[in-house]
Chains A and B, each alone.
Chain A
Amino acid sequence: MGVLKAAWWIARKDLAVEIRSRELIYTAMFFAVACLLIFAFAFVEGRTTIRNAPAGILWITIVFSGTLALGRTFERERQAETLRALLMTPVERPAIYLGKLLSLLILLGSIQVVVVPLVGLLFGAPILRAPFMLMGLLALGTTGFATVGTLFAAMLTRTSSRDVLLPVVLYPMSLPALVGGMQGTLWIFAAEPNYELVQTWLAMLVFFDAVFLTLALWTFAPVMGE
């Protein structure tokens, strides 16, 4: 079985579990909406949102709910001892990693389908100004975040204080990708959008994602191997 095919099967398995329980999608989405509520009290002055705040609101919400989802997916695996079982199957390590990453990306993507329009509606962010660039930024930024996140969340399932250690490790590590996403979105939402800068950030994000993915694939096997 090819690596990609095996990865796809693992992702499908994860998604089937999620579709049956809908635990992650409900909780993470609800958490994201709760985050938006908190931000309203910090970044709304009178009746309008503070300039340049929506990009930050959007990305912080994505990152926070993403961290929650990451932690929970692997916690579920740990409780059911399924990760160990998965590691014992004759599937190659990179395939397991890619499968996990794929299912997480689909999950985070479906949260964003709700969160992004909400940020547009509640905070007046011009999300339809450059929809394809925004989608590109969201996809690439989330990929960068999830690439590092999947690696470290998988690693940390074995440690005792994983809930606190995951964000501690993940935020500084995935920062280049998050900065790219945030800055790019900022330039789309700005009063005078600068699409050249957005393109620069998109290119940087492609570069970061490539670096992160290569490194993660490289380190996943020795870290998870026993």
Chain B
Amino acid sequence: MKLGDRLIVVLLAVSGLMLTASPYVIDTAPYEATMGLVQRIFYYHFPMAMTMMLSAIVCGAASAWFLFRRSERADHIAVAAAEMAVVFGVLTLITGPLWARKSWGVWWVWDARITSTFIMWLVFGSYLLLRRFGGAGSEVLAAAVGFFGMVLVPFIYYSVNLWKTLHPSNSVVPSLPTSMGIPLYYCWAAFTLLFVALMSVRIRLERSRGWLERAYRAVED
């Protein structure tokens, strides 16, 4: 096994172990006063949302790099990150309603932040659809989509301050008591590690696909 492969395995194992242990860590946190037990979804929901943002930014930056520099490596990173954005996004959008059902009484609310997250998820979904069904040359077009998608990110993050609604505001996390902060940052770290591990596997897959394509062309010649 090469060093890179070993690193991926270690990363996967560490993040897997951290996630397995996460319920115990979360269990040390006190009950939130008004929401009680259901607030514990937050320790997964928030890191997932942040990882989705991170994936979006990575995808956008890599797309821009690919668009203006035509670097193949940047393209591999962009696809991998778009897939991460969709996976972490779908989990954000599933864990959110499960929490909202109890604390707001409804599954879904068209609040500014939720809506923007949903839009972002659609953007990166369309990125993947474009790559899958766009045919030859679609990677350049998808890069334009990824680049546009990234530009939406800051707008999304500040949108909650623009139209204040139901969603807990951005100031919740910095003001968190330590007893709740520790499990949150623990989960955040675990999901970020998982993100890095999955990203590297996905990038490797894309690189192998590139090799395969080149090899096929060599066979045809």
Physical contact A–B (CB less than 8 Å): yes
Residues of A within 8 A of B (CB): 148, 151-152, 155-156, 158-161, 164-165, 168-169, 171-173, 175-176, 211, 215, 219, 222-223
Residue in chain A with minimal CB distance to B135: A160
Which of A155, A165, A169, A171 has the most B CB atoms < 10 Å from its CB? A169
The proximity string for B residues 148-179 relative to A, scoring 1 for CB distances below 8 Å and 0 otherwise, is: 11011001000000000000000000000000
Contact of B151 with A158 in the complex, beta carbons under 8 Å? no
CB distance from B63 to the nearest CB of A (A): 10
Q: Is the interface of A mostly helix, strand, loop or mixed?
A: helix
Contact of B148 with A159 in the complex, beta carbons under 8 Å? no
Q: Say which residue of A159, A173, A175 sits within 8 Å of B135 (CB atoms).
A: A159
Contacts A168-B129, A172-B123, A211-B151 given; does A223 touch B141 at CB 8 Å: yes
CB distance from A226 to the nearest CB of B (A): 9
Contact of A165 with B129 in the complex, beta carbons under 8 Å? yes
**How far does the alpha carbon of A176 sit from the alpha carbon of B152 in the complex, in Å?**
9
Q: Say which residue of B68, B145, B147, B151 sits within 8 Å of A169 (CB atoms).
A: B145
Contacts A152-B144, A173-B148, A211-B151 given; does A223 touch B67 at CB 8 Å: yes
Residue in chain B with minimal CB distance to A158: B137
Residues of B within 8 A of A169 (CB): 126, 130, 145
Contact of B141 with A159 in the complex, beta carbons under 8 Å? yes
Residue in chain A with minimal CB distance to B121: A172
Contact of B119 with A172 in the complex, beta carbons under 8 Å? yes
Residue in chain A with minimal CB distance to B68: A222
- Considering only CB atoms and an 8 Å cut-off, how many residues of chain B contact the other chain? 24
Contact of A156 with B123 in the complex, beta carbons under 8 Å? no
Residues of B within 8 A of A215 (CB): 147-148, 151
Residue in chain B with minimal CB distance to A224: B140
Residues of B within 8 A of A (CB): 67-68, 119, 122-123, 126, 129-130, 133-135, 137-138, 140-141, 143-145, 147-149, 151-152, 155
**How far does the alpha carbon of A175 sit from the alpha carbon of B141 in the complex, in Å?**
19
Contacts A148-B148, A215-B148, A219-B67 given; does A165 touch B130 at CB 8 Å: yes
User: How many contacting A-B pairs (Cβ < 8 A)?
Assistant: 66
A152-B144, A173-B148, A219-B147 given; 11 more Cβ-contact pairs under 8 Å = A151-B144, A156-B134, A159-B130, A165-B130, A168-B129, A169-B130, A169-B145, A211-B151, A215-B147, A215-B151, A222-B68
**How far does the alpha carbon of A164 sit from the alpha carbon of B68 in the complex, in Å?**
27
Contact of B67 with A161 in the complex, beta carbons under 8 Å? no
Contact of A165 with B134 in the complex, beta carbons under 8 Å? yes
**How far does the alpha carbon of A175 sit from the alpha carbon of B115 in the complex, in Å?**
11
CB distance from B181 to the nearest CB of A (A): 34
Residues of A within 8 A of B67 (CB): 219, 222-223
Residue in chain B with minimal CB distance to A148: B148
Residue in chain B with minimal CB distance to A171: B122
Q: Say which residue of B133, B140, B143 sits within 8 Å of A165 (CB atoms).
A: B133
**How far does the alpha carbon of A191 sit from the alpha carbon of B122 in the complex, in Å?**
33
Contacts A151-B144, A169-B126, A222-B68 given; does A161 touch B133 at CB 8 Å: yes
Residues of A within 8 A of B123 (CB): 172-173
**How far does the alpha carbon of A219 sit from the alpha carbon of B133 in the complex, in Å?**
21
Residue in chain B with minimal CB distance to A211: B151
Contacts A161-B133, A165-B129 given; does A173 touch B145 at CB 8 Å: yes
Contacts A169-B126, A219-B67 given; does A160 touch B133 at CB 8 Å: yes
Residue in chain A with minimal CB distance to B129: A168
Residues of A within 8 A of B148 (CB): 148, 173, 215, 219
Residues of B within 8 A of A159 (CB): 130, 133-135, 137-138, 141
CB distance from A67 to the nearest CB of B (A): 14
Residues of B within 8 A of A223 (CB): 67, 140-141, 143-144
Residue in chain B with minimal CB distance to A173: B148
**How far does the alpha carbon of A130 sit from the alpha carbon of B137 in the complex, in Å?**
47
CB distance from A61 to the nearest CB of B (A): 21
